[in-house]
Structures are given as structure tokens and as C-alpha cells.
Amino acid sequence: MATIRHGEHVQPRSKMIKLSDSNVKSLVMAKSIKENTMRINSVNFSNDGMHMITSSDDDSIFLFDMQSGQKKKNVNSKKYGVSLIRFSHNISNAVHCSTKVDDTIRYLSLHDNKYLRYFPGHSKKVVCLCMSPVDDVFLSSSLDKTIRLWDLRSQNCQGLMSVGAKPVAAFDPEGLIFAAGVTNKEVKLYDLRSFDKYSGSVKMH
């Protein structure tokens, strides 16, 4: 079990900018985008950083080109609602959670605004959605106190973990380990190759 105590330094893999009051205050807004009539509930960037996608409580989805800052596409999900939108590894497709009808996760073609696949299973609101950085696998966690593993190529759940509390989850950069936060003091680590096998934890003090 690995423990990181407050104040300890974790060596980054690459050069990073250290945030401070002075450099945060020096940040200047480059562009303001005002397309929605209600709250924007999710923002996600493509892997290469060239595109951004947003979802809103007004049931709209916007796709933006980050080089020009211009809107490329607008589609709507009036029937199901939309939140926690995430690009797949193809910027023409995205996966998102529902805010209406039920708690099914939906796989959407942005090109023609058609759903490619549905992922039923969660019985309560989905609170976290995370794409694997390396393939078509993704994780979801829900107020039903479960974490589910999915593959975009199949509507069937590939793995199910009951955690006994509201969870959050995320992949590591290699897509081999995922972290599950199930309490406010501990993050548990799991090997994706044995989905429900506990690998270790990081305790926060």
C-alpha cells in the first residue's frame, strides 16, 4: 500500500508549470463562447487538443475547432438529455449520459446525429464517465454505488463492481490501471486485466 502524505513531492514525468497566485492571476481569457441558454454541464477535449465538445442542461451538444475557436457542429438530444459528454477516439463520435427517461449511457454519431449504441445497466444517475486513453473501453460510476466497465463495440457490461458508496473513477495514462475513489480519504487502484481485483491504495491525510 502506497501512502502520500501532505507536503510530499511527487516527481512528474515531464516538465510542468507550477501554479502560483501570480501566474494564475496573469492568465488572460482568449475567447468567450456563448452558445447555450442553460448551464454547461460538461466540457471535453479530443486527445490531440484540436477539438472541444460541450454538453448543456438545454440538451444541446456543441463541437468546436480549437485552432479557429469556431463552432463546427451543433446537435441536440431533446429526448434523452445530455451530460458528461466524452469524445471517443474518433472525434466524429461521442459517449454521454442521459438526464431524461432513464440512466442509460448513449454512443452518438456527431456526423449524422444518430445513436450507434445504448449501454443500459445503471439504476441511478451516472456521476462519472471516463474513456480509456488507449482503446474503446470506458468506465462509468453511478449513485447506484457501482462502477461498470464497457466496450463501445458491445452494449453488454464487461465488468461490474459494487463499492458500497458513491464512486468516482479514472484511468491511468497507459489504460492498464484505474483508480476508484469511494470515500473522501482513500483512492483504490485496480488492474484492468482483473477488473475487480484490488491492487493497492493511496490514503489522503
Instruction: Name beta bridge partners: 53.
Output: 44, 63
* pLDDT exceeds 50 at position 10: no
**pLDDT-derived band of residue 20, with 50, 70 and 90 as boundaries?**
confident
Establish whether domains 37-120 and 123-205 are of one fold.
yes
**pLDDT-derived band of residue 31, with 50, 70 and 90 as boundaries?**
confident
**pLDDT-derived band of residue 197, with 50, 70 and 90 as boundaries?**
low
Q: What percent of the chain has pLDDT over 90?
A: 63
What value does the mean pLDDT of the chain take?
86
118-149 residues labelled b (16+ CB within 10 A) or e (exposed)? ebebbeeebbbbbbbeeebbbbbbbebbbbbb
Q: What are phi and psi of 187, to 5 degrees?
A: -115, 125
CATH of domain 37-120: 2.40.10.480
Q: Does domain 123-205 have CATH number 1.10.3470?
A: no
Q: What is the pLDDT of residues 80-90, one digit of tens each?
A: 999 999 999 99
- Sorted by sequence, the CB contacts under 8 Å of residue 86 that are 6+ apart come out as 44, 94, 95, 96, 129, 130, 131, 138
**pLDDT-derived band of residue 23, with 50, 70 and 90 as boundaries?**
confident
pLDDT score of 5: 39
pLDDT score of 131: 96
Q: What does the domain layout of the chain look like in residue ranges?
A: 37-120, 123-205
- In the predicted model, what is the mean pLDDT of residues 195-204? 53
d(CA 128, CA 163): 14
d(CA 51, CA 87): 9
Q: Are 129 and 137 in contact, with CB atoms under 8 Å apart? A: no
Q: What is the pLDDT of residues 33-78, one digit of tens each?
A: 888 889 999 999 999 999 999 999 999 999 999 998 899 999 999 9
Q: What is the pLDDT of residues 104-136, one digit of tens each?
A: 999 999 999 999 999 999 999 999 999 999 999
pLDDT score of 196: 59
Which has more confidence, 81 or 13?
A: 81
Query: Looking at beta carbons, which pairs linking 114-120 to residues 24 or more positions away fall under 8 Å?
Result: 117/152, 117/154, 117/155, 118/155, 119/95, 119/150, 119/155, 119/157, 120/155
pLDDT score of 165: 86
* pLDDT exceeds 60 at position 8: no
Q: Are 178 and 171 in contact, with CB atoms under 8 Å apart? A: yes
